[in-house]
Amino acid sequence: MMKNLIKSNTVIMLIFAAVVLTAPMWTAPIGANYPDLLQKFAIFGIFAVGYNILFGLTGYLSFGHAAFLGIGSYTAVWSFKLLTMNVVPAIILAVIVSGIFALIIGYLSLRRSGIYFSILTLAFAQMAYSLAYSVLTPITNGETGLQLEQQDPRVIDSMFGVVVTDGLPSTNLFGTLMSGYSGFYVAAAFLIFAFYISLKIFRSPFGMKLLAIKSNQTRMKYTGFNTKPYLLTAFIISGMYAGLAGGLLASIDPLAGAERMQWTASGEVVLMTIMGGVGTLIGPLLGAGIIKYLENIFSALNKSELTEIFSFMPEWLQTIVVNISNVFVGEGWHLTLGALFMLIVIFLPGGVMEGVTKIKDFILGIFGKGEDNRTAEIEGEAK
């Protein structure tokens, strides 16, 4: 009874919302409670949660999802330029446009599976990236990136008589500026919404079908089941999530560049998902948080700060530790990322979430409840 209550959608969503909205408080001890980073947590969380709907449920490894993020960003910035500085139309348009692109790319790429699918998505994304840099410069503004200008038309804004006289206008949500903590709360609201949809999908017959495709697509086809529409739907949904993330990125900082579409950016979301735990609900969020945290904190550290951190040690030890750890911070934070990544894949293939489960089982095992708990859980699922 108690177990079922904890696992119900409402309770999960309440806990999740509470955790997300109080993030500025509980991230304070680890030095991550500044708005810039919190916004990134939320936005890349959305990206990873969406990616997980495709990769986690169907097992199709896409290497081109950053393209949708980039398309979402460009759309949002164009909406700011042409329509209004309000973020709502921008985000809606970003989701719709990236959904359309996901439909086209997904339709073509899903004709193949396995690595052929991965390479097809990679090829499409790289094409989008290269074109954004070269031929599509009128739309994307090439290397400089798409930016706002004071003399942009902004049709809807000017209808309501909003006139910008000096400087660039800023993005807003019906008057609330999108910078700082308010930007984070808007992104967090979208994250909670996105997580809710993902939870519903995971627990729906649709989600079950996607899982069945992952475990044995051939068998699904033998039963006379057409898998293609389901795969395509999953692809479009995750593309729209990426578009939403892109739109939010542009809403907080109205600037869109092609480098958001590069394959390394696509690789990053794969890393986030795997690091957190593929196919788990909360894992991708954790992965996004860990990677963005490391990126921001580790890359900002330098030698003098390290000396301060390790100042409690005896001097000879301090010198050694500082010199060794200096390699891993600042410009070398990628080294940390690579090492962490290898360790996780080698020892915890299920990502951080597998580690959590192992620890949980271990603790329950101490109290002799491990096995009972398992069976109870399985019975609960069956009901």
Partner 1 sequence: MDAILIQLLNGLDKGAAYALIALGLTLAFGTLGIVNFAHGALFMLGAFCAVSFQKILTISKKVKDESITFFDAYKEQPYLEIWWGDTGTAIIDYAVPLSIIMAIPVMLLIGFIMERGLIRHFYKRSHAEQILVTFGLAIIIQEVIRHFFGANPIPTPAPDLVSGSAAVGAFFGLNENLVYPWWRLIYLVFSAAIILAVFAFLKFTTFGMVVRAGMADRETVGLLGINIQKRFTIVFAIAALVAGLAGVMYAPILPPDYHMGMDFLVLSFVVVVVGGMGSLPGAVAAGFLLGVLQSFASMTEVSSLFPGIDQIIIYLVAVVILLVRPRGLMGREGVFED
Cβ 256 vs Cβ 140: under 8 Å: yes
> Does residue 228 belong to the site contacting partner 1 (CB under 8 A)?
no
The C-alpha R_g of the chain, in whole angstroms, comes to: 23
> Does residue 111 belong to the site contacting partner 1 (CB under 8 A)?
yes
Residues 55-94: x where in contact with partner 1 by CB under 8 A, - otherwise, as a string: ------x---------------------------------
Q: How far apart are CA 379 and CA 183, in angstroms?
A: 43
> Does residue 327 belong to the site contacting partner 1 (CB under 8 A)?
yes
Q: How far apart are CA 374 and CA 75, in angstroms?
A: 47
Q: Which range in 85-93, 125-133, 173-181, 229-237 contacts partner 1 by CB under 8 A?
A: 125-133
The three-state secondary structure class of 50 is helix
> Does residue 341 belong to the site contacting partner 1 (CB under 8 A)?
yes
> Does residue 342 belong to the site contacting partner 1 (CB under 8 A)?
yes
> Does residue 131 belong to the site contacting partner 1 (CB under 8 A)?
yes
> Does residue 270 belong to the site contacting partner 1 (CB under 8 A)?
yes
> Does residue 346 belong to the site contacting partner 1 (CB under 8 A)?
yes
Q: How many amino acids of this chain bind partner 1 (CB under 8 A)?
A: 40
Strands (E), 184-315: 255-256
Instruction: Pick left, alpha or beta for residue 149 (phi over 0 → left; psi -120 to 50 → alpha; otherwise beta).
Output: beta
Nearest CA among 262, 264, 266, 271 for reference residue 292: 271
> Does residue 235 belong to the site contacting partner 1 (CB under 8 A)?
no
Cβ 201 vs Cβ 9: under 8 Å: no
Q: Which range in 15-23, 177-185, 331-339, 367-375 contacts partner 1 by CB under 8 A?
A: 331-339
Name the token pair of 333. Answer: 């934070």
> Does residue 353 belong to the site contacting partner 1 (CB under 8 A)?
no
Calculate the CA 231 to chain-centre distance.
20
Cβ nearer to partner 1, comparing 113 with 373: 113
Q: How far apart are CA 70 and CA 260, in angstroms?
A: 5
Phi, psi of 303 (to 5 degrees): -60, -45
Name the token pair of 318. Answer: 């301090």
Nearest CA among 26, 40, 24, 52 for reference residue 351: 52
Cβ nearer to partner 1, comparing 15 with 335: 335
Minimum distance between the CB of residue 323 and partner 1, rounded to whole angstroms?
A: 12
Cα three-residue angle 57-344-276, rounded to 5 degrees: 40
Nearest CA among 326, 285, 332 for reference residue 303: 326
Minimum distance between the CB of residue 227 and partner 1, rounded to whole angstroms?
A: 14
Minimum distance between the CB of residue 190 and partner 1, rounded to whole angstroms?
A: 28
Minimum distance between the CB of residue 140 and partner 1, rounded to whole angstroms?
A: 12
> Does residue 108 belong to the site contacting partner 1 (CB under 8 A)?
yes
Nearest CA among 235, 270, 260, 241 for reference residue 63: 270
> Does residue 294 belong to the site contacting partner 1 (CB under 8 A)?
no
Q: How far apart are CA 223 and CA 296, in angstroms?
A: 49
Cβ 33 vs Cβ 197: under 8 Å: no
Task: Return the bridge partners of 255, or none.
Answer: 147
Cα three-residue angle 70-264-33, rounded to 5 degrees: 75
Name which position in 11, 18, 139, 339 contacts partner 1 (CB under 8 A).
Answer: 339
> Does residue 139 belong to the site contacting partner 1 (CB under 8 A)?
no
> Does residue 120 belong to the site contacting partner 1 (CB under 8 A)?
yes
Q: Which range in 72-80, 96-104, 116-124, 308-316 contacts partner 1 by CB under 8 A?
A: 116-124
Name which position in 135, 155, 208, 378 contacts partner 1 (CB under 8 A).
Answer: 135
Residues contacting 380, CB < 8 A, separation 6+: 3, 4, 7
> Does residue 114 belong to the site contacting partner 1 (CB under 8 A)?
yes
Q: Which range in 182-190, 231-239, 309-317, 340-348 contacts partner 1 by CB under 8 A?
A: 340-348
Name which position in 317, 335, 359, 363 contacts partner 1 (CB under 8 A).
Answer: 335
Q: Which range in 14-22, 104-112, 199-207, 364-372 contacts partner 1 by CB under 8 A?
A: 104-112
The residues of the shown chain that bind partner 1, judged by CB under 8 A, are 61, 108, 111-116, 119-120, 122-124, 126-127, 130-131, 133-136, 263-264, 267, 270-271, 274, 327, 331-332, 334-335, 337-339, 341-342, 345-346, 349
